[in-house]
């Protein structure tokens, strides 16, 4: 397998706390190349967005992390979310599963969460020198606690090998990573908007003050959610400050 930027190396673990943390630690001890993947059949302390735990059923789902050295300006950090979300969305679309990206990077199918992404960057001298892109995707799990409002590839009616889905995502990530290194921000944003949940639509939100309706305008230069309220004011939100109600 050859890729534009990634050098394929895949370490498969039976069980680990978090593939993101393991990859970070491994890279401190032995420098790994751009594109190294760590996947785990079971993750016991999976990290999610906003300090949440990412729960997964042993051997049923994809939990993996990819190491990259993007050398991006920190103001472009959000584009790493964009390329990861697009890669997962595209791999699902190849399975005829139509997924949307809920800002910043939740992957939804019919409003149910099928996957999530956690990106951990290292910034040195105003450059993102290292980015660990962690992806959790529900593949063969059939039962979820109802409050999770989750689904899986299996529950969407498709039967696939977990490894094959990883390979697809990896290939697409290399493709979108190339667009990113070419500074093709405009195209990436256009692709992201074409899959963005509620884009150009009125949605229902909650912040620390109230619940409100607003038009999803898109994202700001630095990846904040840009909402236009019904009184025509514009607000920008960071991930921990707003909740989608759907």
Instruction: Give the residue with the Cβ less far from ligand BTN, 70 or 134.
Output: 134
Q: Pattern of binders to ligand BTN over 4-43, x per CB under 6 A?
A: --------------xxx----------------------x
Is 138 an interacting residue with respect to ligand BTN (CB under 6 A)?
no
Q: Which of 54, 79, 172, 205 binds ligand BTN (CB under 6 A)?
A: 54
Is 139 an interacting residue with respect to ligand BTN (CB under 6 A)?
no
Shortest distance (Å) from residue 211 CB to ligand BTN: 22
Instruction: Give the residue with the Cβ less far from ligand BTN, 107 or 191.
Output: 107
Residues numbered 63 to 122 that lie near ligand BTN (CB under 6 A) are 63-65, 106, 116-118
Q: Pattern of binders to ligand BTN over 150-189, x per CB under 6 A?
A: ----------------------------------------
DSSP 73-129: -GGGTHHHHHHHHHHHHHHHHHTT---EEETTTEEEETTEEEEEEEEEEEEETTEEE
How far apart are alpha carbons 19 and 214 in whole angstroms? 37
- Helical pair 185-195 and 78-94, crossing angle rounded to 10 deg: 50
Q: Which of 42, 49, 121, 178 binds ligand BTN (CB under 6 A)?
A: 49
Count of CB atoms situated within 10 Å of the CB of 21: 18
Is 205 an interacting residue with respect to ligand BTN (CB under 6 A)?
no
Which residues form the interface with ligand BTN (CB under 6 A)?
18-20, 43, 46-49, 52, 54, 63-65, 106, 116-118, 134-136
């Amino acid at each position: 397998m050859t890729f534009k930027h990634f050098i394929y190396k895949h370490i498969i673990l039976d069980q680990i706390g978090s593939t993101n943390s393991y990859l970070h630690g491994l890279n401190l001890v032995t420098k790994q190349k751009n594109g190294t993947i760590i996947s785990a059949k079971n993750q016991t302390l999976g990290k999610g967005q906003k300090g949440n735990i990412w729960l997964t059923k042993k051997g049923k789902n994809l939990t993996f992390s990819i190491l990259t050295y993007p050398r991006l300006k920190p103001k472009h950090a959000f584009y790493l979310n964009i390329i990861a979300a697009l890669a997962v969305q595209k791999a699902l679309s190849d399975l005829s599963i139509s997924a949307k990206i809920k800002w910043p990077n939740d992957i939804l199918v019919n409003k149910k969460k099928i996957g999530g992404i956690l990106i951990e960057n290292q910034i040195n001298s105003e450059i993102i020198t290292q980015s660990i892109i962690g992806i959790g995707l529900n593949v063969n799990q059939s039962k979820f606690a109802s409050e999770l409002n989750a689904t899986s590839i299996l529950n969407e009616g498709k039967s696939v090998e977990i490894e094959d889905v990883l390979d697809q995502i990896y290939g697409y990530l290399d493709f979108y990573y190339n667009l990113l290194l070419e500074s093709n921000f405009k195209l990436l944003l256009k692709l992201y908007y074409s899959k963005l949940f509620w884009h150009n639509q009125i949605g229902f939100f909650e912040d620390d003050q109230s619940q409100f309706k607003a038009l999803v305008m898109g994202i700001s230069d630095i990846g904040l959610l840009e909402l236009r309220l019904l009184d025509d004011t514009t607000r920008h939100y960071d991930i921990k400050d707003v909740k989608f109600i759907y």
